A and B are shown apart, each in its own frame.
Chain A
Amino acid sequence: DAGVTQSPTHLIKTRGQQVTLRCSPKSGHDTVSWYQQALGQGPQFIFQYYEEEERQRGNFPDRFSGHQFPNYSSELNVNALLLGDSALYLCASSLAMAGQGETQYFGPGTRLLVL
Chain B
Amino acid sequence: LAKTTQPISMDSYEGQEVNITCSHNNIATNDYITWYQQFPSQGPRFIIQGYKTKVTNEVASLFIPADRKSSTLSLPRVSLSDTAVYYCLVGDGIKAAGNKLTFGGGTRVLVKP
A binding-site residues for B, Cβ under 8 Å:
4, 31, 33, 35, 41-45, 48, 50, 55-56, 58, 88, 90-92, 94-96, 98-109, 111
Compute how far the CA of A111 lies from the CA of B43 in the bound complex, rounded to whole angstroms.
Answer: 11
Instruction: Please give me the residue from chain B that is nearest to A107 by CB atom.
Output: B43
Compute how far the CA of A108 lies from the CA of B98 in the bound complex, rounded to whole angstroms.
Answer: 20
Q: Is the CB of B93 within 8 A of A106?
A: no
Whether A94 contacts B97 in the complex (CB less than 8 A), given A101-B32, A103-B34, comes out as: yes
Q: Is the interface of B mostly helix, strand, loop or mixed?
A: loop
Taking CB atoms, residues of chain B closer than 8 Å to A108 are 42-43
Q: Is the CB of B49 within 8 A of A45?
A: no
Docked complex: B38-96 residues within 8 A CB-CB of A:
41-46, 49, 87, 93-94, 96
Taking CB atoms, residues of chain B closer than 8 Å to A103 are 34, 46, 49, 93, 96-97, 101
Q: Is the CB of A104 within 8 A of B97?
A: yes
CB pairs A–B below 8 angstroms (10 shown): A31-B98, A42-B106, A45-B101, A90-B44, A96-B97, A99-B94, A100-B93, A105-B46, A107-B43, A109-B43
Number of chain B residues whose Cβ lies closer than 8 Å to a Cβ of chain A: 24
Taking CB atoms, residues of chain B closer than 8 Å to A92 are 43, 101
Taking CB atoms, residues of chain A closer than 8 Å to B103 are 35, 42-44
Taking CB atoms, residues of chain B closer than 8 Å to A99 are 94
Cβ of B7 under 8 Å from chain A: no
Instruction: Please give me the residue from chain B that is nearest to A3 by CB atom.
Output: B43
Instruction: Please give me the residue from chain B that is nearest to A40 by CB atom.
Output: B105
Compute how far the CA of A92 lies from the CA of B103 in the bound complex, rounded to whole angstroms.
Answer: 13
Docked complex: B13-46 residues within 8 A CB-CB of A:
32, 34, 36, 41-46
Compute how far the CA of A33 lies from the CA of B101 in the bound complex, rounded to whole angstroms.
Answer: 9
